[in-house]
Amino acid sequence: MLPHGLFFVITFFSTSTLNGPGVESSSLQSVRFVPVREARQEPVVHLTNGLTFVTLDASSPISRTLYFAKRSIYVEQSFVFACLVNPQTTPLKGIALCCRKNRNAADLQCPRVPEGKPHGTITCAGTEFSYDSSEFTGANFSIHIREKQQFKDPMDGLFRCHVTDNSKTTIISNEIEIRDAVYYIRQLQTRPSNSITVIPPITHSEFPRPFYCVDDTSREWPVWMSTLSDEVGNILWGYCEISSPMNAHTCLQVHKALPKAVATTYVNGTMFLTDESFLSKREVAIVCRDEQVRAPVRTFAGGQIEQVSVITKGLSVDTTSDYVQKLQPLTALYQNFTFIYGGLPKGFSLNALYRETEAGCSFQWSKDGADVPLSGASKFSYQLPLVDELLLDGTYKLTVVSKSDESDKLVFTFVINVVRPPEFTDIHCLPRLFYVMKGNNFTTLCPFISRPQPKTFVGVNHLEAATAVELRRMLEKEAILNKKLSQLDIDFGVENVAEPPEVTIAVNSLQSEQDFDLSVRLTSPFGGSRIFSSLKVVPIPKLMASPVESSCEEECDAVPFNVSCSLDPDLVQQWRQLFDVTASITWVVQNQWSSDRWDPDGIGRFFSIPVLDGSVLSVWPQGYPLSSQNAATNSTQMGDSTTFKSLKEFIRENAAAEGSGNVFVLSLRCRVQLFVHNNEPSFAPPPGPKMRRGLRQQLPLSQAFSPTAPRLLYDSSWEPDTTLVSQLIALRSFSPDPQPATANLTWIIAVVIALLVVFVVIGLGIWLYTRDRGETYMLYDKERAHGNDPIQEMKETEGFKTYQRQSTIHKK
C-alpha cells in the first residue's frame, strides 16, 4: 500500500510557466505534470565538464539516473528538477519534494514548500535544493554547484515531487536517482609533492607491478562506482625519460601519457604496469598528478639524490630474478557488473590481472561459451564493442593456460547484467482523463518492457495492491467512506506470454458515484514506472417526458399532434458543470429521415420543431399549412396536375426499406446525443466499425480535425438498455385506407359471372350423360336385330364383356 494520504490522478501534458495562472477553455480542469522543452529524456544522464547543465522534468513516464560524474574545481554545474503542472485557476494546496536514501529504504521524507514563501531551500536525504515556486504552476527544484565548492556528504538519493491541487488530488512523479561520483573521487587525497619514491629493480615475479598515487580509500565506495569508466577519475599517469638528472616537477613538465598497452589504470588512483619490456627499452620515471593541479603527487624512479630530490636513475627490471612458478591472479576471479540500459560507458573494459610463469601463457576471451573476436581483446583486458547494450548482456570468461603446464590454469569470470528499469511503451493506454457512460465497462492493455520482470501494482485512489483479489478486499473495507466504490468490479493481471508483456485491466459495469483515480505502477530493483488515469462515470439520459407516451393505435393521424422528449434539467446541468458536456436532441422518422437533414420540400413538409432544444416534435399528417401552401403554389407554377400527398403516402413512396409500400405504423424516434466541449477527456469510440465510419462521414472536415470542436461522447442509437430505447420511440398507427364505391359494383359483377359459369358447367354435364345412355339403347336394338341377346349372353358367360367388344367380334 502507498503511504497514507497519497492520491493519484492522470493528466494531460501542456506548456506551463511559473508566471501565474492560465485560462483554460472550459471549467473542466485536472492537474497534470507538463513537459519542459529543454528537459532531457535519456534514462541515464552524466553531468561532466562538457555537460554542465541538465534539466529533468516530472512528466517522464520512467525513473531516471543522474550522475555527477566529473567536475573540475573551476567548473560550475547545475541540475534542475522541473516539477511543473498545467496552469491552475485556483491555488495549489501543496508542493513537496519527497526522497529516500536508497532503493531499500522504506521511509519516505516529504518536506513541503512553505506557503507564502515562493523562494528558498529544502533539504531532503541530506541534499539541499533551492526552489522557485508558484501556487498556480508548481515548482523548480535545483542544485547549483559553484567553483571550488566542496561537500561534506554525497548528493545521493532517490527524489520525486508531489503536487496537490485545490480538490485535494495529489499527483506523483517518477523517481530520479542522484549518484555523486565526484564526491567519492575527491575523497582520494591528492597532495602535491616533489618527493621521489625510489623503487629497486623490479623482479619478474612482480609484474604486473602496482603503483599507488594515493592511499586507497575506495573500500567504502558504493557498488555502482565500479561501473564507471576510469575516464571520470581525476588522476593522470605519465612517464618521463631520464636522459639527465631532473626533479619531480621537471619530470612532470616533460612527461608523456602512459600508453594503455603497457598500463591498466583504475578510477581509485591505482595503476598496474603490465609490460616489463617498457622499462627495458628506455630509462624512465613514472609520475602521477591530479588533473586539476599541474603538480606531481607521486614520482617513482630507480634512484635519486636525496638531499635535493633529483632523479638520477629510471625504473628498471631485475633480469636475474625468478618468475613465479604458477599463475597468480591479482584481481578477483569473479566480478559482477550491472549497467542500466543507456548508461554503459563507451569503451568500458573488463580487466583481469595475473602473474605468469617464465614460459608464458596462452589466453582466450569468450562470451556465453563462444570465443569473442580478437579486436578489443588482450591478455589483460577486453574492451566491450560499441553495439546495442542489450547485446552485451552475458557471461564473459578469460581463460589463461600456462605454456609450461596445461593443468596450471586461471579462469576469470565477468557477469554483465544490462538491466532496463520498467517502462510503459504506450503511456496512452491509460488516458489522462477518461469518460465512461454509466453501465459501460472500461478495459485497457498496457504493454511494458523491463529487465528483470517487475512487480506490478494497481491502485484505486490511495489504495494499491499486487492482485485484484487483494485490491477488492481493500475496497470493501472502505465501504463506510464510499459504499459505491467498495462495490467496484475491478480485475487486472499481467500477460507475460505476450511480447512485450502487458498489464490488463478491466472495470465492469461502472455506476454513478464510482469515479476514481486509477494507477498502474511497475517496480524493480533498478527503477520503476507509474501511469495514472482519472475515470469519471457520465450518467446516461433520464427522460422527464418520453415519446412512448405519445404512442397510438387508432385514429392517430387524423389531426396534427405533438411528441415530447424532454431531459431531466438537473441532469443537463450536471453534465455541463461536471463534465463540460451538452445534450442535443434530434428526431428520426421511420429510422430513415433525421431532423437535422430534413428536406423542407420533402419529408420536412410534415414536421416542425417549435422549441429551441428540439424536445418537442409537431407532426402534420396532411402537411404543415405553410409548407402545403408553398408546395401547392410550386405545383401550379410547374404545371403539376398531381394532388398533394399525405404523410402516409409520402412514406410509402419514399421509404427505403423493403416492403415499405405496406407501411401501417409511423415510427418517431427521439435521438439523444452528448457532446464534449473540452479536448482533455478521452472516451471509448462508437461501437462497431460501421458506426465509426458513419460518425466520420457526418462530421465536416474542419470539425473532424479541430482539437476544440465538440466531440460525440454518446448516442442513444448505441444504447444497449432496451428499456430506455423503448421509451425513446413513439409508434402511431396510420388510419386504414378508405374503400371506393366502384369496388362494390365490381365485386357484384364478379359474383354473377361466377354463378353463370357454374350453371353452364352443370347443364353441360347433364347433356353429356343423357347422350351416352341413348347411344347404349340404340346398340342393344341393333344386336337384337342380328339375332343376339346381350343380356342372355351376359348370364351365360363368366365374365362381363362390353357391347362394343361383342359387336366388333360379331362383325368379323
Amino acid at 750: A
Q: Confidence band (pLDDT; 50, 70, 90) for 237? A: very high
188-203 pLDDT per residue, tens: 888 999 999 999 999 9
Q: Cell 506490478 sits at which residue?
A: 456
pLDDT of 212 above 60: yes
**Calpha distance 802→768 (Å, rounded):** 20
Q: What CA dihedral angle connects 707, 711, 713 and 718, to 10 degrees?
A: -130
Residues making up the chain, counted from first to last? 812
Across 17-26, 156-165, 258-267, 375-384, least confident range: 17-26
Q: Which cell numbers hold the place of 696?
A: 466520420
Range from 11-15, 517-521, 652-656, 747-751 that averages highest in pLDDT: 517-521
The β-bridge relationship of strands 433-437 and 394-402 is unpaired
Domain boundaries, the chain: 44-183, 196-318, 328-418, 425-537, 543-733, 742-811
Across 163-172, 447-456, 523-532, 768-777, least confident range: 768-777
SS (H, E, C) 797-809: CCCCCCHHHHHHH
- With a CB cutoff of 8 Å and minimum separation 6, the contacts of 379 are 361, 363, 400
Amino acid at 91: P
Q: Cell 396536375 sits at which residue?
A: 641
**Domain topology for 44-183:** Immunoglobulin-like (2.60.40)
pLDDT of 320 above 60: yes
| Section 147-175 average pLDDT | 90
**Calpha distance 577→28 (Å, rounded):** 8
Q: Confidence band (pLDDT; 50, 70, 90) for 13? A: very low
The β-bridge relationship of strands 616-619 and 729-733 is unpaired
| Section 747-754 average pLDDT | 80
How far, in Å, are 37, 494, 520 from residue 51 at the CA level? 17, 40, 34
Q: Confidence band (pLDDT; 50, 70, 90) for 805? A: very low
3-class SS of residue 429: helix
- Contact assessment for residue 333 and residue 411, using Cβ atoms and an 8 Å cutoff: yes
**Calpha distance 467→402 (Å, rounded):** 57
**Nearest residue to 153 (alpha-carbon basis) of 210, 87, 233, 220:** 220
Q: Which cell numbers hold the place of 221?
A: 565506495
**Calpha distance 682→410 (Å, rounded):** 62
4 or 642, greater pLDDT: 642
Q: With residue 243 as reference, give the H or E element that holds it.
A: none
**Nearest residue to 245 (alpha-carbon basis) of 298, 181, 200, 304:** 304
**Calpha distance 173→624 (Å, rounded):** 63
| Section 235-244 average pLDDT | 93
Number of H helices, E strands in the chain: 14, 52
- Phi first, then psi, for residue 795 (nearest 5°) are -70, -35
Examine residue 687 and say whether the peptide bond preceding it is cis (omega within 30 degrees of 0): no
How far, in Å, are 73, 173, 186, 408, 641 from residue 221 at the CA level? 21, 29, 12, 34, 104
Radius of gyration of the chain (CA): 49
**Calpha distance 261→281 (Å, rounded):** 15
- Phi first, then psi, for residue 397 (nearest 5°) are -135, 140
414-443 pLDDT per residue, tens: 999 999 999 999 988 998 889 999 999 999
**Domain topology for 425-537:** Immunoglobulin-like (2.60.40)
- Contact assessment for residue 584 and residue 675, using Cβ atoms and an 8 Å cutoff: yes
Across 514-523, 638-647, 683-692, least confident range: 638-647
Using the 8-state DSSP alphabet, how is residue 135 labeled?
T
Q: Cell 347433364 sits at which residue?
A: 766
Q: Which cell numbers hold the place of 476?
A: 470493501
| Section 236-245 average pLDDT | 93
713 or 17, greater pLDDT: 713
| Section 140-154 average pLDDT | 92
pLDDT at 280: 87
Q: For a pLDDT cut of 90, what percent of the chain falls above it?
A: 55
**Nearest residue to 412 (alpha-carbon basis) of 336, 330, 352, 371:** 352
**Calpha distance 652→689 (Å, rounded):** 31
**Calpha distance 286→294 (Å, rounded):** 15
pLDDT of 807 above 50: no
- Contact assessment for residue 227 and residue 419, using Cβ atoms and an 8 Å cutoff: no
556-565 pLDDT per residue, tens: 888 899 999 9
Q: Cell 494499491 sits at which residue?
A: 464
The β-bridge relationship of strands 349-351 and 354-355 is unpaired
Mean pLDDT of the chain: 84
pLDDT of 475 above 50: yes
Q: How many CB atoms lie within 10 A of CB 22?
A: 15
- Contact assessment for residue 99 and residue 158, using Cβ atoms and an 8 Å cutoff: yes
pLDDT of 704 above 70: no
In angstroms, how far is the first alpha carbon of the chain from the final one?
125
**Calpha distance 776→510 (Å, rounded):** 97
Amino acid at 129: F
397 strand-pairing partners: 366, 413
| Section 588-596 average pLDDT | 91
**Nearest residue to 568 (alpha-carbon basis) of 586, 549, 550, 541:** 541
606-655 pLDDT per residue, tens: 999 999 989 999 999 988 776 544 544 444 444 443 445 788 888 888 87
Q: Which pairs from 306-309 meet CB under 8 Å and 24+ separation?
A: 308/247, 309/194, 309/195, 309/196, 309/247, 309/248
205 or 25, greater pLDDT: 205
196 strand-pairing partners: 299
- Contact assessment for residue 164 and residue 93, using Cβ atoms and an 8 Å cutoff: yes
How far, in Å, are 372, 655, 688 from residue 694 at the CA level? 60, 20, 10
519 strand-pairing partners: 459, 532
CATH topology identical between 44-183 and 425-537 = yes
CATH architecture, range 328-418: Sandwich (2.60)
780 or 115, greater pLDDT: 115
| Section 577-601 average pLDDT | 91
The β-bridge relationship of strands 296-301 and 196-198 is parallel
pLDDT of 278 above 70: yes
Q: What CA dihedral angle connects 23, 25, 29 and 34, to 10 degrees?
A: -70
332-367 pLDDT per residue, tens: 999 999 999 988 888 889 999 999 999 999 999 999
pLDDT at 14: 34
Phi-psi region of 439 (alpha: psi -120 to 50; beta: other; left: phi over 0): left
pLDDT of 535 above 70: yes
- Contact assessment for residue 125 and residue 154, using Cβ atoms and an 8 Å cutoff: no
Q: Cell 367380334 sits at which residue?
A: 809
Q: Confidence band (pLDDT; 50, 70, 90) for 274? A: very high
| Section 693-709 average pLDDT | 52
Please, what sign has the CA dihedral across residues 282, 286, 290, 292?
Answer: negative
pLDDT at 5: 35
Across 79-93, 576-590, 694-708, 787-801, least confident range: 694-708
- Contact assessment for residue 275 and residue 262, using Cβ atoms and an 8 Å cutoff: yes
**Calpha distance 55→75 (Å, rounded):** 18
**Nearest residue to 143 (alpha-carbon basis) of 45, 32, 56:** 56
pLDDT of 77 above 90: yes
pLDDT of 697 above 60: no
pLDDT at 18: 53
Chain-centre distance of CA 161, in angstroms? Answer: 22
pLDDT of 718 above 80: yes
